[in-house]
Amino acid sequence: MQSLDKTACRRLLAGILALLGPLPAAAGLLRLDVTHSEAGFRIAADAHLDAPPPAVAAVLLDLSRYPNLDPGIMEARVMAHPGPDRWRVRTITRGCVAGFCRTVRQEQEIVRQSCRSITATLV
């Protein structure tokens, strides 16, 4: 499962770079940790993007354009905006592994702490 998560993270980075436009941008996945507990999975990733942090944050927080970040994201909709730096987002994604395909609907709580720190928590 971890290799699939790395592939998904790399696709996401490629999507972010494409949306950043003409900025001279390079990316690298520096760390990916996947842990499992009774509460579920926790995925933490560190990546390097050669782009200004405010530009990266703007791409990550343009929730209507999430389907452009990854072809597996079919829909992203803001369900609530309880504060200037908080969003509740419903996503519909489609993924296939070895011919088995699945559509996943989920909600995430997205919180921007700064232009360098954005947290998405699966609800």
Domain boundaries of the chain, sorted by first residue: 2-122
The rounded radius of gyration (Å) of the Cα atoms in the chain is: 15
Residues 24-39: tens digit of each pLDDT: 456 677 777 777 777 7
Its pTM surpasses 0.85: no
Q: Where are the beta strands (DSSP E) in the chain?
A: 27-37, 40-49, 73-83, 86-97, 100-114, 117-122
Could you read off the pLDDT of 75-116 as tens digits, one per residue? 999 999 999 999 999 989 887 777 888 898 989 899 998 878
